[in-house]
Structure 1
Amino acid sequence: MKLIPRSQWGARAYRMPNGATPYSRPRRGVKLHYLGTAYADRPHDKCDDYVRQIQAQHMDGNGWSDIGYSFVVCTHGYVYEGRGLHRRNSANGNTTLNEQDYAVLLMAGSSGLTKPTNDQLNGARDAIEYCREKGPAGTWIGGHRDGYATSCPGDVIYAWIKAGAPRPAAPTPAAPKPSTEAEMKLSDHIKLGDWIPKYWPNDKGLQDRQIPVDVALGSGYAHSRKSAENTVAILTELKALRTEVAQLRAAITKES
């Protein structure tokens, strides 16, 4: 889980003297929420500021002791610690509901970005499992609208909840691309020079003077024998040049 603690996102301190009410009893489960207003996605380095805005609205606008949610999940899959574990939230509707379940907000809206990203759904699952393990919380998962008159968390998130709040399926690997004719021709056989039997008479792999070669990558034979082949070619040219020089000298001597 990519957890961002309160100190890291710059949370304000709980309003005193009471602060966010401690509540360590087991919870039934987790309720999910959305923003209920328009929301535009943003780079992750802007998410901290948005969570601070939510906290300011809850404390200064609603008069609450802190941000109302237990955890907040951004579209990038990071889980922001709100009130966290073992404290009563203020987001579920009333004291009974706030003590009954943890409250997890997905940063998605009623317009703009309405469909959570796969990273966000994975982050929500991380938060749910964290509440279950550390809360403790039971296995129940619901929406804010369950037991309270509201449209929250919106139809998209609520449908995901009713489907069991599954983690998104991993992307299916792309099928191998069929080889094109041009690519297939990269695999070929190369016929080597007549010098092969002379220099490697016992190499059974070269008896027909042909080797398989990936033209793009080369071959073991090509790399290991290239230097020798070049050397033989140079010696052959040098021998021919010496013959021509000898013939030229003989012709000059004859004329003189």
Structure 2
Amino acid sequence: MKLVTRAALGWPPSAAPLQSTTSGVKIHYEGTPVSTRLLTDHDACIAEWKAIRASHLANTAENYSDVAYNYAACPHGYLLEGRGIGRRTGANGNQELNRAHYAIVGLVGSSGLTEPTDAMLHAIRDGIELLRQNGAGPEIKGHRDGFATACPGGPLYAWVQRGAPRPGTTTPPPEQEDDMDPVDVWAYKGTGETRDAYWYQRDTNTLARQARDETRALAARVDDLETTGLTAAQAEQIAELVADKLAARLTD
């Protein structure tokens, strides 16, 4: 981990409210144009982070107690300390939305620098793991999962939806895996709730596993019936009826 502390940034201890635990971490982006100069000039990353804090502290309408995020991640793989460990996020952390998750912002924006580098994603993972060691729960979400916003932007949100894996891996870390079995996945019939793609897939695979297990159990019962005198043709007819009923349940 390449951590740049508040002391190294020349900042005093954070005045943000204390909070020892959360459900997890939300990922953010700047939401404004970000210069591609950050890709080649780490000093520009530090200047960007200091400018974000200055703009938040200058916001007299919301009266920020500090920069809004616990950490930032730059394109060079540095984790930049903001509010730090055990501090509530947002302006003053007085909204329920702020209490649910700690916050990490990737230094990418709506134009210019929009794609996180692999090094930035590693730094975000470093921040998530550091926060988990200090009270954060297992959830990894995007800002848009709790609020009507484009944040954290398309590229970062797509990564979050994949489970926020470290670059070079194809699966999410263990706490995000679903223990999926190689079963067919049927189309999820939504209930009108606003939920992200990760949870749709999770519900779908849970349903598929339950249907598979029920099918196996019913097949075993058919085998038992066959041994007590049921003909093969009768057993096959029962199996077809069971399959039809399961298919009807999955398409309701």
Query: Shared topology, TM-score over 0.5?
Result: yes
Alpha-carbon distance in structure 2 between the residues aligned to 1:162 and 1:92: 28
Task: Determine the structure 2 residue equivalent to 1:22.
Answer: 18
CA contact (8 A) 1:71 1:104 kept: yes
Task: Determine the structure 1 residue equivalent to 2:85.
Answer: 85
Query: In the alignment, is residue 53 of structure 1 matched against residue 51 of structure 2?
Result: yes
Task: Determine the structure 2 residue equivalent to 1:33.
Answer: 28
Q: How far does residue 152 in structure 1 lie from its aligned partner after superposition?
A: 0.3
1:1-256 matched pairs, under 5 angstroms: 1-11=1-11, 14=14, 19-24=15-20, 26-41=21-36, 42=38, 43-61=41-59, 62-90=62-90, 95-134=95-134, 136-169=135-168
CA contact (8 A) 2:33 2:112 kept: yes
Q: Which moved more, 1:89-98 or 1:57-66?
A: 89-98
Q: Which moved more, 1:80-89 or 1:91-100?
A: 91-100
Alpha-carbon distance in structure 1 between the residues aligned to 2:116 and 2:79: 14
Amino acid in structure 2 at the alignment position of 1:33? H
Q: How far does residue 50 in structure 1 lie from its aligned partner after superposition?
A: 1.4
Alpha-carbon distance in structure 2 between the residues aligned to 1:120 and 1:150: 22
Alpha-carbon distance in structure 1 between the residues aligned to 2:12 and 2:53: 8
Q: How far does residue 93 in structure 1 lie from its aligned partner after superposition?
A: 8.6
Q: How far does residue 9 in structure 1 lie from its aligned partner after superposition?
A: 1.4
1:180-209 superposed Cα distances (whole Å, 9 cap, x missing partner): xxxxxxxxxxxxxxxxxxxxxxxxxxxxxx
Task: Determine the structure 2 residue equivalent to 1:205.
Answer: none
1:133-171 superposed Cα distances (whole Å, 9 cap, x missing partner): 12x11111000001211110011111110011111118x
- How many residues end up aligned between the 2 structures? 164
Alpha-carbon distance in structure 2 between the residues aligned to 1:38 and 1:162: 23
Give 1 or 2 for the bigger CA radius of gyration.
1
CA RMSD in angstroms comes to 1.8
Gaps of 5+ in 1: 171-256
Alpha-carbon distance in structure 1 between the residues aligned to 2:155 and 2:94: 24
Amino acid in structure 1 at the alignment position of 2:87? R
CA contact (8 A) 1:92 1:103 kept: no
Report SS of the residue matched to 1:145: helix
TM-score (norm 1): 0.61
CA contact (8 A) 2:16 2:92 kept: no
Alpha-carbon distance in structure 1 between the residues aligned to 2:54 and 2:30: 14
Q: How far does residue 11 in structure 1 lie from its aligned partner after superposition?
A: 2.4
CA contact (8 A) 2:75 2:107 kept: yes
113 and 92 in structure 1: CA distance in 2 versus 1, 3 angstrom threshold: farther
Alpha-carbon distance in structure 2 between the residues aligned to 1:137 and 1:13: 20
Q: Which moved more, 1:60-69 or 1:71-80?
A: 60-69
Give the share of equivalent positions with the same residue, in percent. 46
CA contact (8 A) 1:92 1:144 kept: no
